[in-house]
Amino acid sequence: MKPKPPLKEIVIDQLVPGMFVVEMDLPWYRTPFLFHKRLIKDAETVRLMKQHGIRTVTIDTSKGVDLPVQADRRPPSAPDDRSVDSPEGSAGKQAHAGATGPVEARARQLYAEAQQTMERIFADLEQGVPPPPAATKTVVSNILAHLLDDRTGLLTQLALAKIKQFDRSLAGHGLDTCILSLIVGVECGLREESLAPLGAGALLHDAGYVRLPRNLVRRRWDCTESERALLEQHSTLGLAMLADQSDLQEEVKRIVTEHHERSDGSGFPGKLAGEAISQAARIVGVVDLYDGMVSRRSGRPAMLPHDAIRQLFLAGERGQFEKSLVEIVIRSIGVYPVGSLVRLNTGEQAVVVGVNPEQRLKPRVKITGGPQGESYTDPLDVDLATQAQDRSVRSVLRVLDPGQERVNIAMYLDDPPSQAA
């Protein structure tokens, strides 16, 4: 008799605790789960899956119980793979961390000081003076120290910078890429000795652009094929600028060189693929693309953060990036990133002011207007992940364009939290 295959498709009503799911019949962004591979630990998870419209799942009988479930068969212990196959990574510790009061002020000050340092570094680079490693080390160390206490504050400063500044400078883009890359690096489980070069490389990843015509760099999103070929030299130009710095870690130089390489071999300058690209460069590559899409550039408007997230997901589907890495980036930034304008199921309008990585479809929001289009004098702060169950439960219905709705997002991100619901 042939052995039964370990994979088996079943209907949702057959799913019970102890089974190990490897696939669902809906894409991840339409479910409450970032990762579909999971051990079903309780009936509540099954109920949640049914509630979101999942009808069939594929189970792996080699990792969990099979059909029919025997009453005396105990489910296996949950694998300790939270950094890969579960949303319960380090983000959960900061799921409800908010940028309030002194914490918000510290984030604002840290961001401003880091921005000033980066502007000086890039001014020196334009004069042919390489950055002292101590300068980038200080920026990275300060960011990491703050991320341990508060993530939302720095994400808010990033969102404000995108709104208030047109044609963000190379220094500003480097800083934003650094912050997001470090958040992703923490989610990936990197140790401090790996996070330090990741941050430094992210700060300097576009250093080579200072060796190219400034007007060309500013319109790099709208250029000819020959101009594109010239722009692509910035990776090798950046390496040449830093090559003689013996006190700069090799991983930093690899990030500068490899951040435009792609997992499918379609990138540049070396057409590297897969693990031939350093892990840090792969992280910076995804974050660099996202930050570029949500920034206002000459010749190209900024993309809505939610739309940029969708583009990252599609890039992962095409094989340009590892799917698992894209999923971690999305978990870190949020399906509805800070600064997004959304319509709730109640008809109310709200601005996303915080993300809940463990429940990525339920961000923290500031409700700014009612279902009839009326503006609220006192916006209401609501954490969609921790609403009282005895009240009408709010959820995000769709994303809105602040330009079309004529909403000044910065006004709500700058404000301290108001009354909570």
Q: Say whether the peptide bond before residue 68 is cis (omega within 30 degrees of 0).
A: yes
Query: Domains (ranges, CATH) in the chain?
Result: 1-70 (no CATH), 99-333 (1.10.3210.10), 341-414 (no CATH)
The pLDDT, as a whole number, for residue 29 is: 56
pLDDT of residue 373: 86
As a whole number of angstroms, the distance between CA 335 and CA 337 comes to 6
Q: What is the mean pLDDT of each run of 10 residues along the chain (421 residues)?
A: 69 91 77 72 86 89 77 37 35 38 80 94 92 90 84 82 76 95 91 92 97 89 90 96 88 97 97 97 97 80 90 95 94 90 95 86 93 89 80 86 91 63 52
Q: What is the pLDDT of residue 288?
A: 96
Would you state the pLDDT for residue 21? Answer: 92
Please answer whether residues 208 and 170 qualify as being in contact, where contact means their C-beta atoms are separated by less than 8 angstroms. no
pLDDT computed for residue 78 by the predictor: 37
| Residue 267 Cα to chain centre, angstroms | 21
Residue 33: predicted pLDDT: 66
CB atoms within 10 A of CB 197: 23
Give the C-alpha separation, 265 to 288, whole Å.
18
Q: Are 387 and 68 in contact (CB under 8 A)?
A: no
- Helices within 268-322 (DSSP H only): 279-293, 305-318
User: What residues are paired with 341 via a beta bridge?
Assistant: 351, 400
pTM of the model: 0.73
